[in-house]
Structure 1
Amino acid sequence: MESFYDNVSKESLIYLGITLFCLVFVYWAISILLKRLGKNPKYLLPDGSFKKLALPLILIFVSVILRINALRNVLSLEESEYWFKKSSTLLFIFAMTWLVIALLKIVKQVILRNYDVGETDNLKARKIYTQFTILERIIIFVVILLALGLALMSFQEIRELGISIFASAGVAGIIIGFSAQKLIGTILAGIQIAIAQPIKLDDVVIVEGEWGRIEEITLTYVVVAIWDKRRLIVPTPYFIEKPFQNWTKTSSAILGTVFLYVDYNVPFDKLREELTQILNNTKLWDGEVNVLQVTESKPNYVEVRALMSAKDSPTAWDLRVHVREKLIVYLQENYPESIARTTRLTIEHKDENQNGS
C-alpha cells in the first residue's frame, strides 16, 4: 500500500515538474521575444511593457498549475479538488482580464506615439487620440463586465439562481430596461462621438455660450475647459442632440473679425492701408486673409468689418484684440471726427454786427 502511494507521489512530482518546466519555458520565450521586439526600432515597444505583462502572465501560469491533479496529490489535498479548480478558474479570469487591459494600453501607446497633439496642425492627431481614448474605455468596460459575469456564472448556485430570476422576472426586466434607457442612451452617444467625431480632444467649442476647449471625453460626459479656467461638465448626448459651435472641426486655422462703428466721413482706403500695416507688423497673423468691408449702414454710423486669419483660435483671439486696439488708436490720432457719435449738434456763430441790427 505504501509503495502505491510512493508511486503516485513520484508520478505526481514528475507531472508537476514537467508542467512547471513547460510554463517557465513559455514565460522565458515570451519575455525574450518581447525584449527583442523592444530593441528593434520597427517593433519598438514602450518602456515598461514587459513589466506590465509579466505579472498577469505569471498569474495565468499559476492558475494552470492549480488545476493540475499532480499538485493536489503532492500536497495530499485530493478532497479539496473543488476549491482548487474554483480558485484556478477565478484566478484565470482575473489574470486574463488584467492581460487584455494591459495589452490594450500598450497598443494605444504604440499607435499614439506617432501623433503629436502639440503640433500646430494637429487635426489628425486629435482624431486618433479621441477615437482611441473613447474606444479604450468602451473595451475596458465590456471586458470587465464580461469577466465579472463569467466569474459569477462559474458558481453553480449563482447560475441556477440567475436562470430562475430571468425566467420569472420578465416584467421586472422591462421596468429595469426603461430605467436604464437614459444610461444606455448616454453610453451609445459616447460610442457615436468616437465614430462620427462631432468633437475631438482639444477642439475649440462654444457650448451654452461658453468658449473653451474639449479637455476630456468619457462614455457619459465631456469636460470643457473654459478660457477662465472653469470646467463645464456636459453629458455626451448634448453633442448629438443639440447644436453647438466647433471652431476646429476641419482645421485649427480660423478667421477672426473686428467690428468698428464709424462716421460716414471715414476714409475707407486709409483704414484698409492701416489694417494691412498692422497685420504685417505682428506675428499673430498667418498671412492668409486680410479684408476690410463695409457691412452695414445706419443713420448715425457705418459698420466696418475687418477680417483676418490666424493659425488657431487662441492666436485669432489675441490678433483680434490687437487689431481692434490699433485701429481705434489710428482713428483717434488721425481722424477723430470719423468716430461715430450718438447725436450731432451744429452751432452756427453769427456776426455781431448782424445781431446788433
Structure 2
Amino acid sequence: MENLLRPLIVVGGSLALTLLIGWATDRLLCKADNRHPETPLWGLLRRGRIPYQLVLCAAMLRGSYDEAELQQDHEAGIGQTLTLVLIGSAAWLVIRITAAIVETSYSRYARMHRDPARVRRVRTQVTLIMRVVSAVVGVVAAASMLLTFPAFRAAGASLLASAGILGIVAGVAAQSTLSNLFAGLQIAFGDMVRIGDTVVVDGEWGTVEEITLTFLTVRTWDERRITMPVSYFTSKPFENWSRGTPQMTGIVFWHVDHAAPVQAMRDKLKDILRECPAWDGRAYGLDVTDTTPNTMQVRALVTAKDADDIWTVRVKVREGMIRWLTEEHPYALPRVNTADALLPPSRTNGDRSNGNRPNGDRSHDGSRDGAVSRRAYEPPRTGR
C-alpha cells in the first residue's frame, strides 16, 4: 500500500500544485490587465500560461521523482525525459515573455507616433528582432538538450578543437544563406524597406507583406505573392513608393487630333478632378508634350495621397476625358484619313515661286480643301 501511495502523493501533489500556482498566476494577470487596460503587457503574458505550467510541472516532477520510487529500473530514462521537457518548456516560456514585452513596446510606440512610415519601420524591426530571439533561444535550448547526454559531453572537447575548421567549411557552404541573413539585419536596421511599403521589383508592383531573415514576400495588386531573397534588396535597385512621403504624382496620356480644344480639355480636367474623391487637391495640369504627323500627345498631371489613390485618379481622368471628347468634341479624336490628295490648280510661275495659293486657299472646285489637301502638296517645313 505504501508503495502505491507514495507515487500517488508525489505525482498527484506535483500536478495539483502546478494547477494551483498556474491558476493563481493567471488570476493575478487578469486583475492587472483590468486595472491597467492601457498596457497590453498583462494580457499578452497570459499567452504563456501553458509553457509556464509545463515548466512548473516538469521542475516539480524532476525534483521529486527520486522520492516517488516509481519505475526505479527506468529512473535514468524518465529523469532524462523530464529534463528535456523542462528545457524545452523553459525556452518556449522565454520566447512568449519576450514576445509580450516587444509587442507592448511596439503598441506604445504606435500610439505615441502618428507617422505611418516610422510605425512601419519599428514594426519591421520588431518582427525581425523576434525572429532573431526565437532562433537564438531555440539553438541554445537544442544545445542544452544535447549536452544532457553523456556521449555529447564526451565529444564536446573534440568538437571544440575542430570548431575553427568546421566554421570555415560551414561558412563556404552556406555563403548565400549567410548573405541573406546579414541582408535581413541590414534591412531591419538600415530602414531600406518596411512591412507595408509599396515597392516595384522586376516590373511588379505590390506591397511588402512579410520580411524574415532570409526572404521577403511582396503581395501584388492581383493578390499574387512574390517571394524574393532579402539580398536582392541590398544588391539591386528597386522602387520604394512609400519612402519618405507616400504622396504621388500620376501621368495620363492621350493622343488626339491637332484640332483638339486643349484649353477646354484643361477646364474639363479640373471638373473631373473635383468629382473624384481620391484626388488630394495638391496640383494638376494639362499640356501638349509631343506631336506626330497625324496626332498630338496631351499629358495630364494629377496628384494623390498614396499609390492606391493615384491609380484611381488616373483611371477616372482617362475615362472621363475620353467620354467627354466622344460626346462633345468627336472631331478631336485621332482619325485615319483615307481621302485622295487633291492636286493644286494651275498657277503662274510667280505663284509657284512664292508658294501661295490664289483665291484664299480654295481648291479647283471652288471650296476650301482643308488641312489634308494642303498638306498633300506642301513641302515639309524646316526650322521654326
| TM-score range for the pair, normalised by the shorter chain length | 0.7 to 0.9
Q: Could you say which residue in structure 1 is the equivalent of 2:351?
A: none
Q: Could you say which residue in structure 1 is the equivalent of 2:83?
A: 89
Q: Could you say which residue in structure 1 is the equivalent of 2:101?
A: 107
Residue identity over aligned pairs, in percent, reads 34
- Structure 2 Cα separation of the partners of residues 310 and 15 of structure 1: 70
Give the CA deviation at 1:94.
0.7
Q: Could you say which residue in structure 1 is the equivalent of 2:377?
A: none
Paired amino acid for 1:33: L
Q: Secondary structure at the match of 1:286?
A: strand
**1:42 aligned onto 2:38:** yes
Q: Could you say which residue in structure 2 is the equivalent of 1:6?
A: none
Q: Which of 45, 54, 64 is residue 49 of structure 2 equivalent to?
A: 54
Give the CA deviation at 1:161.
2.1
Matches within 5 A, 1:40-189: 40=35, 41-45=37-41, 49-50=45-46, 52-68=47-63, 71-75=65-69, 82-83=76-77, 86-111=80-105, 122-168=116-162, 171-189=165-183
- Structure 2 Cα separation of the partners of residues 141 and 169 of structure 1: 20
Count how many residue pairs are aligned between Structure 1 and Structure 2: 340
Give the gaps of 5 or more residues in structure 1.
Answer: 1-9, 353-357
TM-score normalised by structure 2 residue count? 0.74
- Structure 1 Cα separation of the partners of residues 220 and 10 of structure 2: 64
Give the CA deviation at 1:296.
4.0
Q: Which of 289, 300, 307 is residue 306 of structure 1 equivalent to?
A: 300
Matches within 5 A, 1:1-357: 27=22, 30-40=25-35, 41-45=37-41, 49-50=45-46, 52-68=47-63, 71-75=65-69, 82-83=76-77, 86-111=80-105, 122-168=116-162, 171-297=165-291, 301-340=295-334, 347=342, 349-351=363-365
Paired amino acid for 2:213: L
Distance 1:116 1:283, change over 3 A: farther
- Structure 2 Cα separation of the partners of residues 320 and 125 of structure 1: 29
C-alpha contact (below 8 Å) 2:51/2:92 kept by paired residues: yes
C-alpha contact (below 8 Å) 2:171/2:178 kept by paired residues: no
Distance 1:323 1:220, change over 3 A: same
- Structure 2 Cα separation of the partners of residues 234 and 148 of structure 1: 29
Distance 1:168 1:30, change over 3 A: same
C-alpha contact (below 8 Å) 1:66/1:84 kept by paired residues: no
| Structure ranking higher on relative contact order (CA contacts 8 Å, 6+ apart) | 1
Give the CA deviation at 1:339.
4.2
Q: Could you say which residue in structure 2 is the equivalent of 1:3?
A: none
Distance 1:270 1:185, change over 3 A: same
Larger mean CA deviation between 291-300 and 272-281 belongs to 291-300
C-alpha contact (below 8 Å) 1:263/1:341 kept by paired residues: yes
Distance 1:169 1:110, change over 3 A: closer
- Structure 1 Cα separation of the partners of residues 251 and 159 of structure 2: 64
Give the CA deviation at 1:183.
0.7
Give the CA deviation at 1:317.
0.9
- Structure 1 Cα separation of the partners of residues 365 and 70 of structure 2: 130
Larger mean CA deviation between 71-80 and 232-241 belongs to 71-80
C-alpha contact (below 8 Å) 2:11/2:61 kept by paired residues: no
Q: Secondary structure at the match of 1:176?
A: helix
Distance 1:192 1:86, change over 3 A: same
Give the CA deviation at 1:341.
5.8
Larger Rg: 2
C-alpha contact (below 8 Å) 1:122/1:252 kept by paired residues: no
- Structure 1 Cα separation of the partners of residues 42 and 249 of structure 2: 39
TM-score normalised by structure 1 residue count? 0.78
- CA RMSD of the aligned region, Å? 3.9
